[in-house]
Structures are given as C-alpha cells and as structure tokens.
Amino acid sequence: MDTSVILIESMLGKFKSEKKWVIQAINQLSEEDISWSPTLESNSIANLVSHIRGTVHQRLETVFYDVPDTRNREKEFDRELLLSKEQALSLASQSFDVIIQVLEEIKSKPDLLIWQPFLDKPPVTYSANNNQSTLLDMMVQMVREVHSHTGQIIYIAKIRKGKLHWQY
C-alpha cells in the first residue's frame, strides 16, 4: 500500500476517534456546562467547538469547496458566546464530518498531499500555515490543533461532571 494512503488512513482514524470522544463528552453535559469556562481567561466548550468549526471552514471548506471565507474568529472567542447543547453537538459533528470527507477525497487522490492550495492566494496570516504550505502541512496542523482542542473539551467536561462515561 502507498505510504500516502497509509498516512491518510491514520489521520482518518484519528479524526473519527476524536469525533467520538467530543460527541460523547458534550452529550454528558448540561446547557450551562457548554458555555462555562474554568477561568476568565479560559475558553468554554462553546468557544472551542465554534473555533474548530471556524478553522475547518477557513482552512478546508474555502479550499476544497471554493466557498467564500465567512469566518469571524473574534466571535469564536467571545466570552459571552452561548450555545445550546444541540448547537455544540451540531458544530462539532459538522467540523469532523468535513475533515473526514476531505480526507476521503484526498485518499482517492493521494498526490494532492503535495499540493500548495494557497500559492496563488493572498498571504495567509491566520495560522501556522503559510502560502508555501502543502496540503500535508495543513492536515498535520489540523490533527495537532483539533487534538489539542479535543483534550480541552474533555478536560472541561471532566471538571463539570467529575467522571465521564465512555462507550468504546
């Protein structure tokens, strides 16, 4: 099997697992828990799922589906951001579904991993990626960022609930 396909399948497995943990954690929370943050300087789960959704939109949907960038990053981190449990679940599911869909598309065309999608676009200033970044660079960054935020979501959920119940 092609090394590129093995790498893509590994990323698919990671994102499917992350989706499962995030959805299970949010499902165990109350509406109040979704918008609660541990400190005034910390993000809530509402902030984190909004941020993940904005990141996925800006870095993947605008590139793969040629949609305009409508991201409002400031709003993602608004301390007053309130989301219902259903909204949080929806944003999380949408985010992971887009990532998984993009990876499935790449899997059928693994040469896309060396594509530089931002080469002919205005300078990228919003992320660790730059205009020289390949799709592989972008996806590795996405794995890192989403994994980090998944850990934050689970940590906040554990603070609120004490113990979470997982289905493996």
Q: Report yes or no: 150 and 22 within 8 Å, Cβ to Cβ.
A: yes
Residue 125: predicted pLDDT: 59
Q: Report yes or no: 22 and 89 within 8 Å, Cβ to Cβ.
A: no
The residue segments making up the domain with residue 64 are 3-161
In whole numbers, what is the pLDDT of the chain averaged over residues? 93
The two structure tokens encoding residue 65: 């589906």
Residue 118: predicted pLDDT: 74
CATH number at residue 149: 1.20.120.450
Domain membership of residue 78 (yes or no) is yes
Q: Could you tell me the pLDDT band of residue 1, with boundaries at 50, 70 and 90? A: confident
Rounded Cα gap, residues 164 and 158, in angstroms: 6
Domains identified in the chain, total number = 1
37 pLDDT more than 90:
yes
Rounded Cα gap, residues 110 and 5, in angstroms: 6
Q: What pTM was computed for the model?
A: 0.92
Domain membership of residue 36 (yes or no) is yes
* DSSP-assigned letter for residue 58: I
Going from the C-alpha of 22 to that of each of 15, 45, 105, 107, 150, the distances in angstroms are: 10, 10, 23, 24, 6
pLDDT digits (tens, 9 = 90+) for 107-157: 999 999 998 887 777 666 566 666 788 899 999 999 999 999 999 999 999
Long-range CB contact pairs, 79-83, < 8 A, 24+: 79/37, 79/40, 81/35, 81/44, 81/46, 81/47, 81/50, 82/35, 82/46, 83/34, 83/35, 83/46, 83/49, 83/50
Domain membership of residue 94 (yes or no) is yes
Domain membership of residue 12 (yes or no) is yes
Residue 95: predicted pLDDT: 98
12 pLDDT more than 90:
yes
Domain membership of residue 168 (yes or no) is no
